[in-house]
Structures are given as C-alpha cells and as structure tokens.
C-alpha cells in the first residue's frame, strides 16, 4: 500500500516528504525506521502499516500537531482509545476501508436494513487473500455496525457449527474466506421469504485504497481537531456535487 500511495500521490498534486518502514526499501523519498528521526514536518500522515504502529504515530502526531489518516485494521481497545484521545487535539481521519465504493455500499446497506426491516435475514460474506491476518475483515465489521445502527439488539454470528438450532431473527451472519491473492470482496445478502437482495463490492486493485487515502488526506488537512470518517467525506463530496 505504501508503494500504491506513492504512485498515486503525483496525481493529487501531493509530494511525499518521507516514509517509515521497519525495513526501508528503495524509493524517491527518504525512508526511516523511526518516525521521530524524520527531520521535516509533513502536512499530513497516512498510515497503512499495522495497528500497533499507533503507539509511535499518536505521540508523534500530537507532538508535531500533524493531521493523520489511519487506514489500518485490527486495532484493540487500548489502541482505539489512543486514537480517540488524539482527536481531541489533532484532526484524525479513521477508516478500516479507504475505498469510496465500499463506503457507498455501507450506506446502501444501512438504508436497505432500514427499509426492509427485520423480516429479512442478513448475511455478510467477505473474501481476502491468504496473507490477511484478521478475520472477519474490518470492512465486514463496518457493514455489520451500519446495519446494527438501524436494527437494535442485532447480534453477530461468525460460526454456526457449534450449536444446532435454527437461525434467529436478530442475527447478522458474518463469514470469512481466505485464499490466493483475492484483494477484497464483500457481499451483503438480505434474504426474505420470496426474494434475495444482494449488494456487492469487488476490489480489483490496491490503487483504489490509495486513491481513497489521498482523498482523505486532502479532506482532513483542512479540518480542525476532531474525529472524521468516510461518512463526513462523502457528505462533503455530496454537497460539493449538488452545487455543480
């Protein structure tokens, strides 16, 4: 993802001043193993590394008052608390999926859940490459959380092999598939008695995540301190479109 962001930066009139990696690679900009060694101040930080990186990134962003885009998944409760506290002093953009299309899908699923009601069973199926560490994906959880907003009392079910009973109405089923080099696929099924509605998104390259991250960087660098997500970015984009 670092290479994808670097490749897409020029199209956004952005210049990468430095990178951070445990094993520095060849690049057109200097790469450091420790963020505190970077001698220049950037306008914004984009993090596509590992959830544990916030332990270094949060103090640095706070010290330098640098807006940050966090695009990693798998944060534990302590790390999420660090991110939320940072947002009290620095603009923070957080999303477990940087695809604009995925976030539109999430909005569609939220609306579908509201319109269809609880008579429709919801199943989420996510597919990723065999190197992905977390399951279910952060995106699948984002989808489930959006549906749960309009379905009070919904419960996530990841595995039905341990209990023999029929599906309960309040369940949101989440299934994970890992194989090959699948970049990312998410399908949400709303299953009624007489029809099935399927909403699906397929990522065909990692460039779309880089594109979304750069859009997020352009968005958050203009904001005051606070916690921002794709929801706010899409709302602003919608308002700008309406003015055209």
Residues 79 and 107 in one domain: no
Same-domain pairing of 119 and 184? yes
Q: How many domains does the chain have?
A: 2
| Mean pLDDT to the nearest integer, 3-31 | 86
Confidence band for 238, pLDDT divided at 50, 70 and 90: low
Q: Are residues 77 and 130 located together in one domain of the fold?
A: no
Active site residue 132: yes
Note the pLDDT tens digit of each residue in 108-137. 999 999 999 999 999 999 999 999 888 999
The one catalytic residue among 12, 56, 62, 132: 132
Q: How confident is the model at residue 58 (pLDDT cuts 50, 70, 90)?
A: very high
- Domain residues for the domain of 55 are 2-94+206-243
pLDDT at 244: 44
Residue partners of 235: CB distance under 8 A and separation at least 6: none
- Which of 51, 75, 127, 128 is an active site residue? 128
H or E, element range at 174: strand 171-178
Question: Dihedral, CA atoms, 197, 189, 93, 214, nearest 10 degrees?
Answer: -70
Is the domain of 134 the same as that of 188? yes
What pLDDT shows up at residue 26? 82
Cα torsion angle, 237, 241, 243, 244, sign: positive
Query: What integer is the mean pLDDT of 4-9?
Result: 86
- In the prediction, which pLDDT does 153 show? 86
pLDDT at 72: 87
Whether residue 178 is found in the same domain as residue 139: yes
Secondary structure of residue 11 in the 3-state scheme: helix
- Do residue 66 and residue 36 come from a single domain? yes
**Residue 190 confidence (pLDDT) above 90:** yes
Is the domain of 44 the same as that of 78? yes
DSSP sequence for 118-160: GGSEEEEEEEE-TT--SSS-HHHHHHHHHHHHHSTT-EEE---
- Do 189 and 214 belong together in one domain? no
Q: Same domain for 50 and 13?
A: yes
117 φ, ψ (degrees, to nearest 5): 80, -175
């Amino acid at each position: 993802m670092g290479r994808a962001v670097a490749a897409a930066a020029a199209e956004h009139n952005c210049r990468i001043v430095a990178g951070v990696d445990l094993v520095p690679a060849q690049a057109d900009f200097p790469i450091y193993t420790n963020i505190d060694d970077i001698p220049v101040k950037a306008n914004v930080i984009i993090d596509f590394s590992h959830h544990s990186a916030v332990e270094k990134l949060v103090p640095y962003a706070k010290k330098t008052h640098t807006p940050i885009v966090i695009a990693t998944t798998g944060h534990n409760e302590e790390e999420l608390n660090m991110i939320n506290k940072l947002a009290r002093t620095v603009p923070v953009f957080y999303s477990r999926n940087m695809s604009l299309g995925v976030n539109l899908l999430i909005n569609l699923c939220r609306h579908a859940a509201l319109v269809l009601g609880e008579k429709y069973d919801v199943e989420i199926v996510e597919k990723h490459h065999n190197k992905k560490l977390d399951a279910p994906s952060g995106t699948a959880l984002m989808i489930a959380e959006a549906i749960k907003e309009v379905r009070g009392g919904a419960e996530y079910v990841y595995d039905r092999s341990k209990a023999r009973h029929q599906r309960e109405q309040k369940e949101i089923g989440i299934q994970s598939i890992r194989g090959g080099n699948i970049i990312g696929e998410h399908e949400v099924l709303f299953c009624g008695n007489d029809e099935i509605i399927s909403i699906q998104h397929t990522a065909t390259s990692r460039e779309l995540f880089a594109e979304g991250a750069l859009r997020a960087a352009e968005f958050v660098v203009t904001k005051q301190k606070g916690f921002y997500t794709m929801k706010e970015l899409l709302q602003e984009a919608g308002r700008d479109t309406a003015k055209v």
